[in-house]
Structure 1
Amino acid sequence: MRWLPLLCLLASLMPCGAKADPAEDVAGRACSALTARVAAVAGDDPLFLRSYDAGSGDGPNPVPALNAAFTYDNALAVIALRACGQLDAARRIGDALLAASEADRGGEAGRLRNAYRPGAVHETPVPPMGWWNADAQHWDEDPYQVGSATGNLAWAALALLTLAEATRDSEYTDGAVRIARWAAKASADARAPGGFTGGLYGYDDQAQPLGWKSTEHNVDLAAVFDWLARLQPAAGWQAPARQARDFVAALWDPARGRFWVGTLPDGVSINRANSGLDAELWPLLLAETPPEWQRALAYVEQSHAARPGFDFNDDRDGVWWEGTAQAALVYRLLGREAEADRLLKAVARRFSQGGLLWATDAARITTGLALSPGSTTDDFYYFRLPHLGATAWAALAARAWNPFTGRQFGARSVP
């Protein structure tokens, strides 16, 4: 069959027998999807991107609250677009985060809400997510979405610091400083094991402080404070950086070779009932961490593996593709390219028809965590929906970009 090599060349754009690079495959898909989502909003105004597509793989969700532009996902998209070399697109989302940092409807600069309305941003204070309830004839908001989680604030600051480094525009640094100061003031807790609490939950006039502390949130803040300490060594950022890092270190269990997910709502007692993939992986992305923390990967492989990827928690009821991309990034950082390639090959097959990466393979997977302070069950789930955040993590893994340091590692380079 003399025509077989030609067909192979046309199908793969490479000679027959050549091996496809899974990182380049995923980078092409993820970067294209993120860039297209920004380009779909005409003009050059600041914008927020919707976090989830409908279950069909494209288009809006029938449930209004699911059409939100979550701050965490949009911050990730900024960093991923930077890693993709799409700086103009990254700036449009970053400018929306910057505008949100300048004024909040509650009157406090630096406070960001967990979710905003998708689309172009034309007003300040930037309004958080909400929708018109036609049945009840009133404006609705979700108590989580109008709250301010500490980790989400940290990711927004990381996004602005990424843009500051890429553009040398001090406005982005100023925005990150505003967010970091508000987060530190709102959540610092000196009680052992120290660190920072979860933030605020609920409507403006009913906002509840969240007493629990998250290993993941404190990792995020440690990265922000470390970065600011490098930029502004005389500004005192070393102290909150140490406070966040000390909490993460206190949650390391050397006997089990793992991190505990955080504390109970009292802010003191260690939560030994749950396991979270991000709490195990993200500390390894911080700069200058103890080598023994790398043992957490063995725990992840034993307790979170759900072929062909990883689950959020240790019940292994399905694959969480966002976390699987995170694992690929950590493997790459540690030079374990074979494991990273295996995961990236699986990720490459999970892009939806609308371009975004599916959050899960299963219809629903558990996390073991609760949605609100009033929840009586572990009612926080991930669903089979195409997800902006998962797509961004896939791009970061494919581009070997560490979001906590703003640096690419390995041979690839981004302009």
Structure 2
Amino acid sequence: MSLLAPPAVLAQAADGSPAAVSPSIERMEAGAVQWLARQMVPNPTVPAPESSRRRLLLSYRVPPEDPAYRYIYGRSAIYDDALGAIAFTMARRYREAEFLLGAITRLVRADGGLWFAYNTQNDWPSESDHEGAIVRTGAVAWAGYALTYYLQARALESPEFGSKDPLGIQFRGSAESIARWLLARRVPAGPDPRAELLTGGSGSSVLAFAEGAAGLMEISNAAEMEWVSTEHNIDAWYFLRDLGRLTGEARYSDAAERIRARVLTLWSEKDGQFIQGIHADRTPDTALPLDAASWGAIFLFSQDRKAQADRCLQVMESRFAVRVADLRGYRPYGREPVYTDARVNAYYYPSGGGLWSDLPLVWCEGSLGAAAAYIRAGRTGEARLILESQAGLAVDGGFRYASMPVPYQFSDHPSVASTAWLVIAAQMLRGSPAGGLFWGR
């Protein structure tokens, strides 16, 4: 069975009518796959990568004259690598997918964890030098999911790939190592509202005015994060659920079921979506991010909880939707401050305002995740409009992370995250078997 359906195989809209992938989306998708392949190192930007980081994807394409170039030109975020591997798999670019997943497996630490991002031009972070490095549970879960997704997708054509092919065996072993790391982050059962959920990782970097400092600074802290993220736990649920299906191991399936049940407790009826999570002090983190509505809707559709999922779609439009000239998309937050520190917000917005809802910003990555939610709802017309609108953010086949920069938060450079999500959403819209497999029921 072919993983990539021919153009005549179309997703179905809610009313049963075909949801054609338009020629413009096909061109965008083809260009996106080629752009992703060019981001793999070695390439002209990093011609001689550190050996263990060979075949990772550079997260952004940054002009050399940009002030940020020297800091991020060689950076590869593990979430971006996971998305890229999924996109290559959907496009049946197995060679690139295997190169990339092989690089991820080389980086899995002894405890099964992964750093959030890696330099490709040198060996930071490493076990001997990781000052300033962070770990995020959601990003680690995405790496495990990418490995599991690849094994499931290849099984559509070669049922024994994961059990007999040496590469399949390697990928499964790395996925299980990652799963063990995730399960070690689980809050024990009990009265704690975070019980059975996974904590957020370690390390943080906060923009603030430090005591005695002349101005604004990034302040790093290497401590463990006891905060629990809704998004991270949705990521982990899909990974552990599918790993359980792949391996037949009840420990993964059971953990996934407990996470699923606890994520449902983070639903806010008055807001029509999931909240951001639970703080370390056990109080609700009531911020309302787009991902907790868009990815939340997909999570709910996976459980046939249609009424709640439809509420998420409604608030996507009422809380996050934005139009900027010909662009249609979504902001990452609604009426929350752009910077949580009031002094920092006043520094960047001295005339007042400073809410996400004030910014004429289209978040391309998040908008494509919203399109994926509409596809899962069968509302393919809305999804197609969102995808086609992102053409305004295309640069040489890649897609900008956002339509405008927000210092220390959002870049407007072409990014792996946005570009890979374009491929994923297009495959979901097309109705290919590989698209249906992604974050499915």
TM, length-normalised to structure 1: 0.76
Name the SS for the 1:309 alignment partner. strand
Query: Shift of the alpha carbon at 1:242?
Result: 2.0
Q: Does the 8 Å contact 1:113/1:128 carry over to 2? A: no
Q: Does the 8 Å contact 1:116/1:129 carry over to 2? A: yes
Query: Shift of the alpha carbon at 1:299?
Result: 0.7
Q: 1:117 aligns with which of 114, 119, 122?
A: 119
Aligned length: 349
Query: Shift of the alpha carbon at 1:182?
Result: 0.8
Name the SS for the 2:227 alignment partner. strand
Query: Shift of the alpha carbon at 1:248?
Result: 1.6
- Farther off after superposition, 289-298 or 307-316: 289-298
C-alpha change, 1:60 and 1:86, in structure 2 (3 Å) is: farther
Name the SS for the 2:236 alignment partner. helix
Task: State the match for 1:185 in structure 2.
Answer: 184
Query: Shift of the alpha carbon at 1:20?
Result: 4.4
Q: Does the 8 Å contact 1:153/1:180 carry over to 2? A: no
- Superposed, which structure 2 residues align to 1:32-47 within 5 Å? 32-38=34-40, 41=43, 46-47=54-55
Task: State the match for 2:313 in structure 1.
Answer: 297
Matches of 2:280 and 2:364 in 1, distance apart? 28
Task: State the match for 2:330 in structure 1.
Answer: 310
1:234-283 CA-partner distances (Å, limit 9, x unpaired): 441123212321232011123332111112232x21112x2211111113
Query: Shift of the alpha carbon at 1:300?
Result: 0.9
Task: State the match for 1:249 in structure 2.
Answer: 264
Name the SS for the 2:200 alignment partner. strand
Matches of 1:257 and 1:184 in 2, distance apart? 29
Q: 2:144 aligns with which of 157, 161, 172?
A: 157
Task: State the match for 2:99 in structure 1.
Answer: 92
Matches of 2:267 and 2:143 in 1, distance apart? 26
Q: 2:290 aligns with which of 269, 277, 285?
A: 277
Q: Percent identity?
A: 25
C-alpha change, 1:401 and 1:208, in structure 2 (3 Å) is: farther
Task: State the match for 1:12 in structure 2.
Answer: none
Name the SS for the 1:362 alignment partner. coil
C-alpha change, 1:153 and 1:128, in structure 2 (3 Å) is: farther
Q: 2:58 aligns with which of 43, 50, 63?
A: 50
- Superposed, which structure 2 residues align to 1:165-204 within 5 Å? 165=152, 166=154, 167-168=161-162, 169-190=168-189, 191-194=192-195, 195-201=197-203
- Superposed, which structure 2 residues align to 1:17-36 within 5 Å? 20-36=22-38
Name the SS for the 1:383 alignment partner. coil
Name the SS for the 1:242 alignment partner. helix
Matches of 1:142 and 1:62 in 2, distance apart? 20
Matches of 2:85 and 2:138 in 1, distance apart? 16
Name the SS for the 2:261 alignment partner. helix
Q: 2:398 aligns with which of 356, 373, 382?
A: 356
Task: State the match for 1:408 in structure 2.
Answer: 435
Q: Does the 8 Å contact 1:277/1:313 carry over to 2? A: yes
Which consecutive unaligned segments of at least 5 residues does structure 2 have? 1-19, 155-160, 163-167, 206-220, 335-355
1:296-325 CA-partner distances (Å, limit 9, x unpaired): 010111000111110011133211000011
Task: State the match for 1:81 in structure 2.
Answer: 88
Matches of 2:193 and 2:21 in 1, distance apart? 52
Q: Does the 8 Å contact 2:40/2:58 carry over to 1? A: no
Query: Shift of the alpha carbon at 1:152?
Result: 0.8
Query: Shift of the alpha carbon at 1:142?
Result: 5.7
C-alpha change, 1:236 and 1:140, in structure 2 (3 Å) is: closer
Q: Does the 8 Å contact 1:35/1:89 carry over to 2? A: yes
Matches of 2:320 and 2:296 in 1, distance apart? 16
Matches of 2:364 and 2:188 in 1, distance apart? 33
- Superposed, which structure 2 residues align to 1:319-330 within 5 Å? 319-330=362-373
C-alpha change, 1:387 and 1:19, in structure 2 (3 Å) is: closer
Matches of 2:275 and 2:250 in 1, distance apart? 31
Q: Does the 8 Å contact 2:76/2:117 carry over to 1? A: yes
User: Which amino acid in structure 2 is aligned with residue 26 of structure 1?
Assistant: M
Task: State the match for 1:221 in structure 2.
Answer: 236
**Cα root mean square deviation, aligned:** 3.1
User: Which amino acid in structure 1 is aligned with residue 303 of structure 2?
Assistant: E
Matches of 2:21 and 2:182 in 1, distance apart? 47
Name the SS for the 1:237 alignment partner. helix
User: Which amino acid in structure 2 is aligned with residue 313 of structure 1?
Assistant: Y
C-alpha change, 1:35 and 1:59, in structure 2 (3 Å) is: farther
C-alpha change, 1:51 and 1:82, in structure 2 (3 Å) is: same
Matches of 1:35 and 1:301 in 2, distance apart? 34
Matches of 2:429 and 2:375 in 1, distance apart? 10
Query: Shift of the alpha carbon at 1:65?
Result: 4.2
TM, length-normalised to structure 2: 0.72
1:145-167 CA-partner distances (Å, limit 9, x unpaired): x2221001100001111222225
Query: Shift of the alpha carbon at 1:202?
Result: 6.2
- Which 4+ runs in 1 deviate beyond 6 A? none
Which consecutive unaligned segments of at least 5 residues does structure 1 have? 1-17, 122-126, 131-138, 366-379, 411-415
1:308-349 CA-partner distances (Å, limit 9, x unpaired): 110011133211000011111121222111111111111122
C-alpha change, 1:192 and 1:284, in structure 2 (3 Å) is: same
Query: Shift of the alpha carbon at 1:189?
Result: 4.5
Task: State the match for 1:8 in structure 2.
Answer: none
Query: Shift of the alpha carbon at 1:351?
Result: 1.3
- Farther off after superposition, 31-40 or 382-391: 31-40
